[in-house]
Amino acid sequence: MEFQFPSGSLPTLFTIFLFIFMILKICKRHRTKNSNLKLPPGPRKLPIIGNMHQLVGSLPHHTLRDLAKIYGPLMHLQLGEVSAVVVSAPETAKEIMRTHDSIFSYRPLLLAPDIISYGGSGIAFAPYGDYWRQMRKICGSVLLNSKRVDSFQSIRDEEVSDLLKFISSNIGLPINLGEKIFSMTYGITARVAFGNKCKDQVQEELITAVREGAEATGGFEVADVFPSTKILQVISGKRPKLEKIHRKIDMILDNIVKEHKASKEEAENTGKDKANDLLGVLLNLQEHGELEVPLTMNNIKAVLLDIFTAGSETSSSTVEWAMSEMLNTPRVMKKAQAEVRQVFRTKGNVEETGLQELKFLKAVIKETLRVHPPIPLLLPKECSESCEIDGYGIPVKTKVIVNAWAIGRDSKYWTEAETFCPERFLDSSVDFRGTNFEFIPFGAGRRICPGITFAIPNIELPLAQLLYHFDWKLPNGMKQEGLDMTETFGVTVRKKEELHLIPTPYHLEPNA
């Protein structure tokens, strides 16, 4: 997504005053901030806006990769008042996220997460410190540990089964598979986060509100690159819009919490089993946990909102891209289907316990994450103290943007980097858990995504079921290789055109 500039007209005099005020402020800042540092190379900066014009109307991860080919893997940009560096190579990413990880574990204060995510108190944007360390530990060892993720298998089975039933009732007809995958993953995450009570209307209302928030937070905001000029937040209309979305989300979450507490009280009175959902776990920790930093209700809502949004968006976009790439590469589709149907040929259905045998499908998922990382520009970091990277000075408060999309397509590390070829992972130890810096779709270091263990089954199971039960073709007689793969940029990068396909049932041969 491009920069979003203020809409509407302003009195000429006020506009001129604001323009002159910003010039003086920025010039003063630059004279005092970076005068003695050798900054990384970068494209020529324009007065006031710096390099903002180069990110207008583009897919920024593409534009930044193209600029990095000219200026190098560590590139300096001036985005309004904000000094930024862009990382586009594995070795430089390793410097940032391993060698100097403690310095670069901070987040810049951005308008959208500050408003929508309760002052940035979720996992993703919480300031680096005691609160973040506590919540990171809770996520890793309590909320999303392997045992708890395994306990959600029945939820995954039920939601995927509902998807299969819908497809089976529309055999031979074009369906919006992308939208159905999206709804399925949100259904899984809603039940995991809030319990079985969060169904139907409430779930749809929350999904709608979260999608509005996602659309409002994607890309680079003018208010964020001129942070000292607070009035931009208002005249751009961004702050009022975000506050309206936040109020809507907060009201829905408040109602979910109230219903959850009432259900918990009823369960205690009747001797029923306690809920295993994440909201219940967090409420129990708030009441009975021995925590260094007390959990407020806003903290709980912020963490659940992070899990609900990130846990759904990343999984659904990956499943949709994987199906799209396999349709575009029929050889891969045929091979993946053959594997799934061979492994589960005597079962008549895919069972989660057998997913470990699907070596090629796992390679397909890795290759999809390589060429289509859900968040191509990892969540921004901020330098907490001046340091040196690759011989260049990085000033304190510099914004750091890691281009995971460009790194995953670096021809120095990947043969035929632009080609979708899952076989590259079959005999490779390269993984996405933050130790191989040429492949970091979930980030690395202290700020690596804590939900990897939760996300992967939500990708593997639906993909395996879609491949096992159905054959697929494009509508209107389109050839598979002609599928539109254009991206649209937001919180995650999805297909610009949702995936519409025609399913036909697969019938297991009796003697297979």
Residue 281 CB: number of other CB atoms within 10 A? 18
Whole-number Å distance between alpha carbons of 454 and 459? 9
- Residue 462 to residue 315: CA distance in whole angstroms: 10
Number of Cβ within a 10 Å radius of residue 443: 22
- Residue-wise DSSP of 225-254: HSTT-THHHHHTSHHHHHHHHHHHHHHHHH
Provide the residue type at 266 as one letter. Answer: E
> Which tokens is 302 given?
């912020």
Name which of 463, 370, 457 is nearest 414 in CA terms. Answer: 370
C-alpha closest to that of 97 among 491, 495, 366, 407: 407
Query: What is the spatial distance between Cα 139 and Cα 194, in angstroms, rounded to a whole number?
Result: 15
Query: Locate tokens 């890691």: which residue?
Result: 402
| Cα dist from 410 to 68, 69, 495, whole Å | 11, 10, 22
Tokens of 399: 């914004």
The distance from CA 300 to its chain's CA centroid, rounded to whole angstroms, is: 20
Pairing mode of beta strands 175-176, 82-87? unpaired
For residue 500, which amino acid is it?
A: H
In degrees rounded to 5, what are phi and psi of residue 503? -90, 145
Q: Is 383 annotated as a binding residue?
A: no
Sign of the Cα pseudo-torsion (198, 461, 442, 58, in order): negative
> In the sheet that 399-402 helps form, which strands lie side by side, from edge to edge?
74-79, 82-87, 399-402, 381-382
CA–CA dist 149, 140 (Å, integer)? 11
CA dihedral 327, 331, 333, 335 (to 10 degrees): 180
> Which residues fall in the annotated binding site for heme?
449
> Which residues fall in the annotated binding site?
449
